[in-house]
Structures are given as C-alpha cells and as structure tokens.
C-alpha cells in the first residue's frame, strides 16, 4: 500500500490549564499514537516520552527548550523514545538504561512497526522499512523514590514493572497529577511485549490503587481521573483471574 505524504503538521499540541502541554502525532494510527507530555517548571522543564521519532520533537518544542529540560522515558518501547536522542539530558529507569544506550528493533518492541502503523508519510520518499531508534545514552538513571525537581514542581518516580521491566510513573504528590506511561491507559493493555511480565503487572495494577492520584496523563489516548483508573485496574486484574475488591480501594487523602 502506498501512503500519501502528511497534508498537515506532523505534531499537534494541546495546552492544559496546569502548565502541561500534550504533544501528539495525528498521522500515527490511533491505537498506537503516543502522548508526549511537556511540563513547564520554574527552574527547568520536563518531557515525559518523546514519540515515534519520525519528525523532530525538539524542533517542534522550539523556545520551550531554552530552559534546561530533562527528557524522561516512561519506558523504552519505540513509540515513546523516538526523539530522546535529540535532548541533552535523558533519563529512564535503571533497568532499561542498556536499551536506550543500544536500541534494537526487538528490545524497543519496534518489530511490530510497519507502514500500517502510520496513515501518512512524514515526508516524500520516507521508507518505513528504514525505521529504527537512535541511541540515546541516559545522563540520569532513575529508581523508585527518586524525585525530579523542577523548582516549583516535583515528581516522584514510581517503579511499575509489567508492561516492561523498567516502566515508571511520575507522581506529583502535591496535586495528584500522574504520568502513567503505558502502565494504565484507555485501550487494550499489552503485557506480552519485550520484557513484559504478567505477574509483575498484576502487582503493579494493585499498587496503583494505593497511590494518591487525582488525574492520569497516560501514554496513549485521553486523560482520566482516579475513578476511571480504578475501573481499568479492576478490569485488567479480573481478566487475569485475580479480582480486586473495589470496596478495598483506598481513597486519596
């Protein structure tokens, strides 16, 4: 199948009211289309995931990169780290630093990538079979409990293995804002990719209900609140024959 060239901007942006901007790639198939989240801080900025890497995200950010910026990978699957190499400061969980340093088609789960994953070419002559992730060695390895300090905002690193061994979430405890990556989102939960582990995923899902989350900004699809997060958690865990009792789910403080 021959794809047309994109007839509009590859990146779109949606600014939220709390200093967060969502960057999306509308010409990526909706089920795969990743979210890249930009958070503006007083002293430095934060980028959570960097998309497919088909078109420069750094160029799209433009003046937003004038302040020091840390690009964090919620995990190292291809659709979340494609533009990480463009940024000077890069971070991911310590168990996946080897992947960002030496990405391959298998270890970034890019073996599922083909022309059917995009609805248009980023530019004339682009060859989908040439797709690969560029090396982006981390400058900061993250672990459970680490804090990313932006000056006026702080995000705690939560290690949430299951989707991948190094999947993390970033929680702003002061507000309950939670960047979940692919740990939980609206859509089919994928637990059979590179370094996925279903038993870990079940424990991670149960742990999510203990976090003081108010809003989830996920790696795919739209954002949602705590109540919906609990529903998604329960649906997944019950599908694995290990039900969670909603009555036991603690409420945020």
Q: Is the pLDDT of residue 200 over 60?
A: yes
Residues 127-171 pLDDT 10s:
888 888 999 999 999 999 999 999 999 999 999 999 999 999 999
Written out in words, the top-level CATH class of the domain with range 12-242 is alpha beta
Whole-model pTM over 0.85: yes
For 55, other C-beta atoms within 10 Å of its C-beta total 19
* Average pLDDT, rounded, for the chain: 92
Contact assessment for residue 125 and residue 93, using Cβ atoms and an 8 Å cutoff:
no
> Order of strands, edge to edge, in the sheet holding 147-149?
147-149, 154-159, 168-172, 177-181, 215-218, 224-225
Q: What is the mean pLDDT of residues 171-192?
A: 95
Reference 52, options 30, 86, 25; nearest CA is 25
Give the separation between CA 84 and CA 62, rounded to whole angstroms: 15
């Amino acid at each position: 199948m021959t794809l047309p060239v994109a007839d509009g901007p590859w990146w779109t942006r949606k600014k939220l009211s709390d200093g967060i901007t969502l960057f999306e790639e509308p010409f990526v198939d909706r089920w795969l289309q990743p979210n890249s989240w930009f958070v503006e801080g007083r002293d430095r900025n934060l980028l959570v995931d960097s998309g497919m890497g088909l078109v420069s995200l750094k160029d799209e950010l433009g003046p937003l990169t004038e302040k020091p910026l840390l690009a964090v990978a919620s995990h190292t699957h291809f659709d979340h780290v494609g533009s990480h190499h463009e940024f000077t400061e890069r971070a991911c969980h310590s168990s996946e630093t080897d992947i960002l340093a030496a990405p391959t088609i298998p270890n970034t789960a890019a073996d599922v990538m083909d022309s059917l994953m995009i609805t248009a070419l980023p530019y004339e002559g682009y060859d989908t079979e040439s797709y690969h992730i560029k090396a982006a060695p981390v400058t900061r390895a993250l672990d459970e409990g680490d804090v990313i300090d932006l000056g006026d905002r702080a995000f705690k690193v939560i290690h949430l293995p299951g989707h991948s061994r190094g999947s993390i979430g970033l929680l702003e405890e002061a507000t309950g804002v939670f960047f979940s990556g692919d740990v939980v989102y609206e859509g089919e939960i994928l637990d059979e990719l590179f370094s996925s582990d279903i038993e870990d995923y079940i424990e991670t899902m149960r742990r999510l209900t203990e976090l003081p989350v108010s809003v989830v900004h996920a790696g795919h699809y739209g954002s949602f609140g705590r109540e919906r997060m609990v529903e998604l958690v329960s649906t997944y865990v019950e599908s694995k024959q290990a039900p969670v009792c909603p009555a036991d789910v603690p409420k945020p403080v």
